[in-house]
Chains A and B, each alone.
Chain A
């Protein structure tokens, strides 16, 4: 029966089912990744945001939750301009973090 609306599927992530191996690998080369407090300063300054929805805050969260594809598609238009490093109140070296993600993760998610 179609009521014209649906109950949206749960967006809960079961972390027990997430393979965190890659994230641990990332954490070992970029210890600062845990420093992020998701304030969103990086997202609000990002010039790539309007093109691919890039948000460093979301990328870090997505990777922690195993949503690699989502993270990588956001990073598609990152220009490595460094604005996010300049505004980060936690002093995270976001540019190197982005480069490390590109080295550790793969586009096809394997």
Chain B
């Protein structure tokens, strides 16, 4: 390639160069600020993870697969995936091949390196060195075509999002629209500008053909500069508005992925990781369809995408309203393609509230409570009647206390299986702390965690059994109970059945299993309850299940949703569950059972009740234990 101009400069590059320098400065300053806002410990962890080969590889892989290819969107909807990856990957390849082209064909770049890779075709004339554009020019045109196809799909999506598997999308803000239209304009303008110079600097199937077809117009070099100016201006406008639009997600996601892979958690509601997540939100609106509150139109503006927008605008009143309303079912987190944790972000916002006084549990004497539940200590571990000498402490929790049927069924199952157990809160105990944690009052929750830890550690048990997923989640995440296995009753029953300690008869009743939010999305337990139910009857699946199960609407997560407003959500969740017309709805959470029981048209049960009804002891010498509970 031969340079056409001695200076290698034209004024039209200015909008682009200014925009690019602005956006680069903004991103670098923003990145440093976010990293500095991390707690010192997290910052150290982050830097170490950056140089650890394993996380380094994972970072590169994740950035490639998530930012460029958008694998999560491909899994959701092929068309949506293609639209995003064609624009992202296509544009990335245009930039990459553009740089290779410049490195191959020019020398002595200097300041020209800023804009040459973007406007290369304007400044050079084709010579023999380009193999008539067979490789690099072809690649450039090919990727331009890929991006253009993505833009066409994006325009269609704006009009009819249903083609892309989305019922509702986000309402864009004014600056989002400016960014959107300038982004759409960039690539057709690039095609036009490069078509003008295709007869000078060469081109491939797109640009050269256009140049031949519209030869009257495109070969007239007087028209050339306006096209290049327009192309540069579109780029400049896009870069200048980028920090204030949803397109900020492009640079932020590159920072968010290493932060997440370093295992950093949200500490401050507005700084550090939380800030990175807020800016990484692409406003795609997948969380709008996912949100269980969406059944009522008035709640659509309270989804995670709007929370992120309001946090960026510092609209405190709306932030409080949105974060207090949420059920914390975490479905938005599960479907989010960039990994914004809507639930944790909201809990962090709640923790900012100022209260004049708060509960204090220092007056509760845990040692007095422990004395009531230290059967295993009194027996001095000599109770060897159990099969594997397992000493189970059963923490029913507040919600199971309200649904005694679950407690009775669980006790009966344990008696049948010959498990040595003790109930920790038969006469009422201390709450697990999860509801307090969800309200954002961490200190109080911590106090409860400490009190319960003391009671459990003094009990002499080696297994802690829970029948409530709300308790199970906080026990798994916030309790340190060395030597004690924490287990949910669905896991426990699955183990009892598979080890043969409990025999279950199979009936031909059709069951559907509702994945409670805290058990499924919260703790990743999907298989065990299904194994148990398949042993007792026929298992059918809900329309949306597992990771995408719909919250029952009774969640303790929401602070402000009133009793009446939850009804529509519960009814929606029930119609989702009954899609395959099951005879009974089964769940593994006392709160879900209670909520569904209110409005369901068929029996709602806890999984323990089903198992209890169809089970017999697998052991021959179970008489002694059966007597104990009766």
Q: How far is the CA of A92 from the CA of B563 in the complex (A)?
A: 7
| Chain A contacts for B441, CB-based, 8 A | 80
**A79–B357 touching, CB < 8 Å:** no
Q: How far is the CA of A72 from the CA of B357 in the complex (A)?
A: 8
Q: How far is the CA of A20 from the CA of B399 in the complex (A)?
A: 35
Kindly state whether residue B286 has any CB partner on chain A within 8 Å. Answer: no
Most buried by A among B360, B441, B554, B556: B556
**A80–B357 touching, CB < 8 Å:** no
Kindly state whether residue B113 has any CB partner on chain A within 8 Å. Answer: no
Per-residue interface assignment for chain A, residues 56 to 97, with 1 indicating a CB less than 8 Å from any chain B CB and 0 otherwise = 000000000000000010011111111101111001110110
Kindly state whether residue B430 has any CB partner on chain A within 8 Å. Answer: yes
Stretch with Cβ within 8 A of A (4 or more), from B299-307, B337-345, B348-356: B348-356
Q: Which residue of B lies closest to A92 (CB)?
A: B563
**A106–B560 touching, CB < 8 Å:** no
A71 → B minimal CB distance (Å): 11
Kindly state whether residue B401 has any CB partner on chain A within 8 Å. Answer: yes
| Chain A contacts for B563, CB-based, 8 A | 85, 88, 91-93
Q: A47-B398, A91-B564, A95-B439 are in contact. Are A79 and B448 (CB under 8 A)?
A: yes
Q: Is the interface of B mostly helix, strand, loop or mixed?
A: loop
Q: How far is the CA of A70 from the CA of B107 in the complex (A)?
A: 84
| Chain A contacts for B439, CB-based, 8 A | 80, 95, 99
Q: How far is the CA of A88 from the CA of B562 in the complex (A)?
A: 12
| Chain B contacts for A77, CB-based, 8 A | 359-361, 363-364
B91 → A minimal CB distance (Å): 47
Q: A47-B431, A52-B363, A78-B359 are in contact. Are A83 and B401 (CB under 8 A)?
A: yes
**B360–A103 touching, CB < 8 Å:** no
| Chain A contacts for B427, CB-based, 8 A | 50
Kindly state whether residue B358 has any CB partner on chain A within 8 Å. Answer: yes
Kindly state whether residue A45 has any CB partner on chain B within 8 Å. Answer: yes
Kindly state whether residue B402 has any CB partner on chain A within 8 Å. Answer: yes
Q: Is the interface of A mostly helix, strand, loop or mixed?
A: helix
Contact of B356 among A87, A92, A107 (CB under 8 A): A107
Kindly state whether residue B428 has any CB partner on chain A within 8 Å. Answer: yes
- Chain B residues 426-478 with CB under 8 Å of chain A are 427-431, 433, 435-436, 439, 441, 444, 448
A21 → B minimal CB distance (Å): 15
Q: How far is the CA of A107 from the CA of B360 in the complex (A)?
A: 12
| Chain A contacts for B433, CB-based, 8 A | 79
A55 → B minimal CB distance (Å): 14
Tally of contact residues, B, Cβ under 8 A: 38
Q: How far is the CA of A53 from the CA of B324 in the complex (A)?
A: 28
**A105–B356 touching, CB < 8 Å:** yes
Q: How far is the CA of A91 from the CA of B562 in the complex (A)?
A: 7
Q: How far is the CA of A105 from the CA of B448 in the complex (A)?
A: 23
Kindly state whether residue A51 has any CB partner on chain B within 8 Å. Answer: yes
Q: How far is the CA of A50 from the CA of B428 in the complex (A)?
A: 8
Q: How far is the CA of A77 from the CA of B355 in the complex (A)?
A: 15
Per-residue interface assignment for chain B, residues 242 to 273, with 1 indicating a CB less than 8 Å from any chain A CB and 0 otherwise = 00000000000000000000000000000000
Kindly state whether residue B594 has any CB partner on chain A within 8 Å. Answer: yes
Per-residue interface assignment for chain B, residues 398 to 415, with 1 indicating a CB less than 8 Å from any chain A CB and 0 otherwise = 110110000000000000
Q: Which residue of B lies closest to A75 (CB)?
A: B359
Contact of A76 among B360, B398, B430 (CB under 8 A): B360
**A81–B562 touching, CB < 8 Å:** no
**A79–B402 touching, CB < 8 Å:** no
Q: How far is the CA of A50 from the CA of B429 in the complex (A)?
A: 9
| Chain B contacts for A93, CB-based, 8 A | 559-563
Kindly state whether residue A104 has any CB partner on chain B within 8 Å. Answer: yes
**B356–A104 touching, CB < 8 Å:** yes
B67 → A minimal CB distance (Å): 40
Most buried by B among A76, A80, A91, A96: A80
B555 → A minimal CB distance (Å): 9
A43 → B minimal CB distance (Å): 13
| Chain A contacts for B401, CB-based, 8 A | 45, 47, 83
Q: How far is the CA of A107 from the CA of B356 in the complex (A)?
A: 7
Q: How far is the CA of A83 from the CA of B430 in the complex (A)?
A: 13
Q: Which 4 A-B pairs have the closest CB atoms?
A: A91-B563, A79-B431, A81-B398, A81-B431
Could you list 6 further interchain pairs (A-B, Cβ under 8 angstroms) beyond the known A47-B428, A79-B430? A47-B430, A79-B436, A80-B441, A81-B431, A91-B564, A95-B435
Interface residue ranges, B against A (CB under 8 Å):
324, 353-361, 363-364, 398-399, 401-402, 427-431, 433, 435-436, 439, 441, 444, 448, 554, 556, 559-564, 591, 594
